[in-house]
Chain A
Amino acid sequence: MSAYLQLDRLTKRYADQRAADAVSLEIDKGEMIVLLGPSGCGKTTTLRMIAGFVEATEGDIRLEGTSITQLPPHRREMGMVFQNYALFPHLTVAGNVAFGLEMRSMARAERSARVAEMLALVKLDRFADRLPRQLSGGQQQRVAIARALAIHPKVLLLDEPLSNLDAELRQDVAREIRLMQQASRLTTIMVTHDQQEAMAMADRLVVMRDGRVQQVGRQEDLYERPANAFVARFIGNSNLLTGTLDAGRRFCAEGRAAIDLAGLYAASGPATLAIRPERIVLSAATDGALAVGTVLLSSYMGAMVEHVVQLDAATQIIARAPSSGVAATTRFAAGARVGLTWPASCENLFDAADAPVPQMQKQLTSPDERITSHA
């Protein structure tokens, strides 16, 4: 069975630059996909190729098994919400929402019913006769969503839909869009540079860099098993240490700090170690700890307590833990000697080519036992 929407080695070259490089992706019907990456990573170019505004240099886009690569935008039946909303300034809210229906020559009665339904959906029924410039940013954005949804698109494309909204509004709107998308089971592709937003809204995420897909997967996959150091850093800010993997279970950081790894690896040589700040447990006991360091900074952030621990002159590790509850951490004063432990399942190593180094199945000690023994 082939996917609902399929990107097949989609490539866009500008002169000698590859804005998107062999992007392949299979999207199921009703799925919400978020393209995520720093600016210039090719996520917007990819979205615009799907919408038809940018012509693909190579590759194919297939919708329900049929290639749409050669189809002009107005025949693709994709609803798009633009970053700046792109409302028609000379048309009222209702006129904006009705536009796509007029293009489909929908009968007047049916059209006004659909417009009313859409405006009710985004809670703007009372604003039907206003002009876009008489609305707030959040309201304009809802008009843009209603306008895109009114045509019952085959795919909904969202280009940084939240970036022009106030910070407080952003999370609410993100949830609203997600609920609406789930209720209508509408296949949706969103582009964002904000990983919080992406984590909150996606069924699956696509992390991109320099025009290339770095990793595709669910939040858990990306968070727990990043495909490379870039993904580890971009999703959830890992501690990244460069150094050397020695005899499969010791890691020597560049600043000479020695770390006992929680997992066992069948490799050695230059490597990058990635550990999530939330997965590190600090304890006063240094015996049996994976690494030992000195607390440099201890900050109470409300829900979390953050410790910056110095392992050696060049190596610092950030550890974050809840300030209360069963997993609450002790607060250590600056200067305290602490032991650091973490479960093997939360430890990721990447070799010199930035590929993950697999852990060997049998571990000498269960990492969870280690933690409880030091707690």
Chain B
Amino acid sequence: MRDARGLGEIAGSAAVWLLVVLACLAIFLPLVLTFYLSVFNEQMIVFPPHGYTLSWYGQIAGKFGAAIWSSLKIALVAVALSLLVGIPAGIGLSRYRFRGREALSTFLLSPLTIPGIAIGLGIYVLAVWIEERTEIVLAGSMRLLILAHVLITMPWVIRLCLASLSNHERTTEEAAASLGANPLMVVWRVTLPAMRPGIVAAALFAFIISFENLEINLFLVSPGVSTLPVAVLQYLGYHIDPLVAAVAVAQIVVVGAALMLLNRFVRLSQVLS
């Protein structure tokens, strides 16, 4: 009897361990393989390779430098704009109970539920439609691309701002007011500091989402300009060599570093729950 239960427990914990190992394999195997490919000393991906080299990493800047730079610019501007709109929206939605609040909140978060490819296509069609009627050229402009990125980053900003305000003690704002702080000062000295972890997380999430976006860029990049994911896709159309793997590894390192940085500021689980 006792032995049977002992065996059952052992089998149970073995099953748990097996699942953990399988999950880790599923997550890390592609990463490891990507890194493995990126050091092949081959023009085509051939297995097994004849030798290993780090030279692919040296070629990233030359082949993808411009694309990385424009991705970076777009992401930074999109993050700044979405914080500018998203933070006040988050404060307003959490602070006031007004008619249509639920509807507005759903509307502001709705881009999260729509596939990126649909958003990209929709904006592209709209831009062409406006261009036909008004002769204002929107499609292919950098401004439109950035606005489209704001559309997909802002819901994250609002969500994280709302989450960071859910435990916020409103009476601290009243206390500040009674101590002589005007409404703007209350936001600056009390509300924003309370939101700080959420804002840091929101900025990083928004950055990653914008930087990695492919679907919207596919429709909206202007001729001659390319963002990193688009450039990688185009490159893959003509070449199958380890350079793309090297780019992927570089990107993983950058994003990973950003997430680790983020974790220093805030415990992610706290903001996302």
Contacts and interface: CB of A to CB of B under 8 A. Distances in A.
Interface of A: 51-53, 72-80, 82, 84, 86-90, 99-100, 103-104, 144, 147-148, 151, 157
B169 A84 contact: yes
B175 A74 contact: no
A103 B171 contact: no
Contacts of A148: 178-179
Interface stretch (B119-127, B155-163, B189-197, B254-262): B189-197
21 contacts: A51-B174, A72-B183, A73-B177, A75-B180, A76-B178, A80-B178, A82-B171, A84-B169, A86-B169, A86-B175, A88-B190, A89-B172, A90-B193, A99-B189, A100-B180, A103-B180, A103-B185, A144-B175, A148-B178, A148-B179, A157-B178
Contacts of B175: 80, 82, 86-88, 144, 147
A79 B174 CA distance: 11
Given A76-B178, A77-B180, 9 more contacts: A52-B177, A53-B177, A75-B180, A78-B178, A79-B179, A82-B171, A82-B175, A88-B175, A103-B185
Contacts of B171: 82, 84, 86
Contact of A104 (B174, B177, B180, B196): B180
Contacts of B141: none
A103 B194 contact: no
Interface centre among A76, A80, A147, A151 (most CB of B within 10 A): A80
B189 A53 contact: no
Contacts, number: 73
B60 interface: no
Contacts of A84: 169, 171
A73 B181 CA distance: 9
Nearest to B173: A86
Interface in B190-206: 190, 193-194, 196
B172 A74 contact: no
A84 B173 CA distance: 13
Contacts of A104: 180
Given A99-B189, A103-B185, A86 B174 contact: yes
Contacts of A88: 172, 175-176, 189-190, 193
Contacts of A87: 172, 175
B189 A51 contact: no
B174 A80 contact: yes
A187 to B, nearest CB: 15
Given A82-B174, A99-B176, A74 B194 contact: no
Query: Which 5 pairs, one residue from A and one from B, show the smallest C-beta to C-beta distance?
Result: A100-B179, A103-B180, A86-B171, A86-B175, A73-B177
A8 B181 CA distance: 27
Contacts of A90: 193-194, 196
Nearest to A103: B180
A88 B170 CA distance: 11
A52 B176 CA distance: 13
Contacts of A78: 178
A39 B228 CA distance: 62
B34 to A, nearest CB: 41
Nearest to B175: A86
A90 B190 CA distance: 8
B160 to A, nearest CB: 18
